Structure 1
Amino acid sequence: MAKEKFERTKPHCNIGTIGHVDHGKTTSRIATSARLVTLTMARRR
């Protein structure tokens, strides 16, 4: 039985990060994710 075709309904964006160890890549990612969550929650109100 064939699987249904998956259709994306939400916008998405892939972001790559390049940098040396201990230069804040993870910190930047966490801050960006937290900000996006805050903006998303504010729009739902």
Structure 2
Amino acid sequence: MGHVDHGKTTLTAALTKIGAERFGGEFKAYDAIDAAPEEKARGITISTAHVEYESAKRHYAHVDCPGHADYVKNMITGAAQM
């Protein structure tokens, strides 16, 4: 979790890129994570995005959640689905 525009989606994209380069797997670009038309139009995350990546020893699940207070309900729903 973090405040609006503090880089949560950017961090998610960076983690998937580094994971894909070092350990294989799928890179998810920023615009693939915030893919909904409304998210692109408004430039904010509205729904949660769940990505997974692995290292040689661990499996990670990462949720990119909305930072705006109006969308915290969506974040809680996404976290419950993990």
Q: TM-score, normalised by structure 2?
A: 0.28
Structure richer in strand, relative to its length: 2
Larger Rg: 1
